[in-house]
Amino acid sequence: MGATPREGAHGADVIFVMVTDSAALEGVAEGANGFVAGLGPGKIVIDMSTISPVVSRDTVEKVRARGADMVDSPVSGSISTLEQGKLTMMVGGRAETFEKVKLLLLDVGMKATHVGDNGLALSMKIALNLAITTQMLAFSEGILLAEKAGIDRKTAVEVYTNSVLASPLIQYRGPFVLDMPEEAWFDMKMMQKDTTLALDLGRRLGVAMPTTAVANEMLTAARGLGLENKDCAAVFNVIAKLSGVQA
């Protein structure tokens, strides 16, 4: 433990980092009190944040200049999967570094998969997270279509979440359209951070992402309606408002 990231890094062999975005990583990594300044040969940084792969790779260079190493290891899961011990992790970095920290990662979640070089785990996480809003949008449209056709919303949610179309995400987040949690599991601001990362990556790689672009605009609409601190499942409220239905 330490009063600053530098002191914390100086006193540990393995340093876990999990912050909100790219700017936050730079804030705790750089400068006289950043964790990079506290690193030395043999130390390993495990960054579990979901940030820009470009920013992550830049930080890796600074870490290695101190004789240490770093892997990116974002997690896939939510509050419910954490409580069930079912978090999974993807890891980007040197294979030998991954092997050194694998058992530590398995203390956090049930599976850790090495996906390649530094930054690639972040690319994989971004590819996963873009589906959160796109799935919730399709789900919301289906529920509202059924409701306006005359089916009770609770019944529609029950049928949908027990159908072959119900992914694990829809199974645990779909019921939020009936009873939205007071405390967001993953709020609109954080969700839009990830869809923006996805769109930026898609532009750099030349991948067309029309559904992600629409989802991103719906998140903008949600924030415009004052829902930015609500769980991202509240995109349902946006579709409901557009459909003339009380959310």
- Domain coordinates of the chain in residue numbers? 5-117, 124-242
DSSP 187: B
Alpha helices by DSSP H, listed for the chain, are 5-10, 22-29, 53-64, 79-83, 95-108, 120-149, 153-161, 168-173, 188-205, 210-224, 235-242
pLDDT of residue 80: 73
124-242: CATH number: 1.10.1040.10
Sign of the four-CA dihedral 7, 10, 13, 19:
positive
Residue 126: phi, psi to the nearest 5?
Answer: -65, -40
What is the b/e burial string over 219-234, where b = at least 16 CB atoms within 10 angstroms of the residue's CB? bebbbeeebbebbbbb
0.85 exceeded by pTM: yes
Q: Provide the residue-wise pLDDT of the chain in tens; the chain has 247 residues.
A: 678 999 999 999 999 999 999 999 999 999 999 999 999 999 999 999 999 999 999 999 999 999 999 999 999 987 777 777 778 999 999 999 999 999 999 998 999 999 999 999 999 999 999 999 999 999 999 999 999 999 999 999 999 999 999 998 999 999 999 999 989 999 999 999 999 999 999 999 999 999 999 999 999 999 999 999 999 999 999 999 999 998 8
At the fourth CATH level, which superfamily is domain 5-117?
A: NAD(P)-binding Rossmann-like Domain (3.40.50.720)
Q: Return the half-sphere exposure (C-beta side, CA atoms, 13 A cut-off) of residue 77.
A: 21
DSSP 184: -
Distances (CA, A) of 177 to 131, 137, 161, 173, 186: 18, 12, 12, 8, 15
Residue with tokens 């990662």: 105
Residue 16: phi, psi to the nearest 5?
Answer: -90, 135
Q: Going by C-beta distance under 8 Å and a sequence separation of 6 or more, which residues neighbour residue 23? A: none
pLDDT of residue 1: 62
DSSP H or E stretch at residue 68? none
pLDDT of residue 16: 96
